Structure 1
């Protein structure tokens, strides 16, 4: 505490006495001290002006003390008082106002808050006047303290709001708050940045118009439930982005209560979870697709095993055929996994299927554009080409040194719709004779393959060389179930 502030506290409810003539000052001080009222004596007007400057409680002055060359100092001290302060003056005057000059009246009026007591006066009258003035002065100090308290609270509130806004605008979330009745009256900058709407345009109930039409009813119902019960609010909904699209957000809000438990405000946030929702949807689609593909693969394995066992002459022959076919199927799966089960190039599928059967560079003559195949079509074509190549090595063109196979494919832009054609033609092999019964390979080639491509697959046992032809719409190369 400074010396000046300490002086204020000591003089706040004290009486400053200015009575330069005779024993008036001493008598007044003794009289006030007798009733427990503190006082301090001023030797002249400048001294009294100084006491007014440190907010003395009450000033007790004689009329003749106001007549001085430096009375302007007192007027300046009164003018410099804080807005809450109005020092009471008790003026001890000679005679009545009827005998007072205009100049003397003006000096008393300039005190602004003065009471005139005529001398000679009774001690009781003086004490009563001083006590009344001190009581009024005490109310001024109380008003000052309340004003300071309000100013402090206002400054604290302003500082708190400034900190809140700084924090709310620094996070990567949309922050909002409402009155106890749910009226939205605050959004941070992130809200306006995300939505692109003018500031203030979503106050009140206008915020609901930002929701996807399909989400509005359930969102409103959940918000009303929270307002009625005071329970925390949490819901996922689609919010209109500044781009015009709707993005998934997570909305949350909690109430703030006072000491009695009454809700004073709601504070909430919106978190952009659109990327998470998209990933979840993709994951569900992927799981469904994987489930479908695993079932298809298991069905194909079951067919390979059952057909091979039924047609093989010995268990060793069946084992070797099953291993070969499932091995090719596994290789096809490996390629599809690397391609994340999306589309793959037909040239890669053909080369991979024929690679294990190449004895020399000219045994297969392959040509065709680099078209895309879907996962199920790639797997089916791999298996079909493997069966054709295996048959060619056992019985067809690849069973002799002079034989070769032409594999060609192309798109047919003249067809309606645009078509696709793939052919397998064997040359230079033994004379071909139709089989006595249809095995797994031919069923795979003519039935399963055709179904996967939504087309037609035909085997032609031409004596000059086995021919196979697949025709389908171009869309059949990538269509899924």
Structure 2
């Protein structure tokens, strides 16, 4: 054991031999006066002045330069480094370099204490975390969506490349700015409401518009998702903004085309009605008026479908349209009870709508709405059955004069019975009962309901059409 290594006694060296860290005492010239037991035991040949040769080649020049600079300046220094291990591979250590001092604080001879602490497990966790973070960042950057991570206070903590380009933010700017400040002024109110909702732990969504001078406006669908910790507290908010400019343009083109198609089809219906009136001997004949009403019902169905972009019609909307002929007075005698928001497919809406119009006309002329006390109740909904879910709509008259089945079946019967029955799997029951007409339409949900999601958990309501 060396006897002349400033500021360390024999007892001190014995103590160094007992610790788990590798320790050596060296001079400014690169000489080494002492290696402790842990250093000597690391591997054959490691306890030598050229111990730095054991540092992984990729890191060796950096560590050698930093140690040289520290020793030359007399400053303390530490860094992480990988050492080749005799068993193969490399292990990470924390290198600390400290100048030795005398007990009274005066500088000793130019001696330095170097220690190596095994941090391999911790370092590999850090490297794994850095790798995962880098992969996640690359995944975000691969997306064409504008992806932002917003703190609960509304400041921006991360923005992917697409977001930086869309919002004109430098990728290496450090972020930290107010998220709302990056949005166009017109979107601030909607963005603020969405942010408040996300802070409460709820998903939020809003449409925004951005415009660069000299360019067309771009439309963004912004979706905010709160990210919660184990205590259900919102730690951050993920905002994904998707460019829907092309989609919006397509929707406008489709809407224009649909309106043009509807306009032409309604013109064709008007021409057909005009031809009928010019062809028949008596244009004021009752059947001409009835035919005109039926053509008008078809036109109203067309309006409903075009307004919904042929995506279906809610039952409530369909009933309101096809019972409009009863007027405001009789409308108070129409009772509706059914699942709110249930949407019918376009073909179903057309066939059922014409049947409802015909039933309404008959009720006004001969049935429950032909007197002052009758009512019409319409119930609809989805029923779970063994063979599958079934949509059911029932028209039930009561309080009207006695009705009886006509001796001959005409066009009205075809509209009420045969036309809706042509839908896949549909059945129609049409009965003349003592208290009034009952009409029931049933069909598999998959054949007639537009939005399958709308048939689950729909709220049933008793409503009066006022």
**Structure number with larger C-alpha Rg:** 1
Tell me which of the two structures has the higher relative contact order, counting C-alpha pairs closer than 8 angstroms and 6 or more residues apart: 2
Which structure has greater helix proportion? 1
**TM-score clears 0.5:** no
* TM-score normalised over the length of structure 1: 0.36
Which structure has greater strand proportion? 2
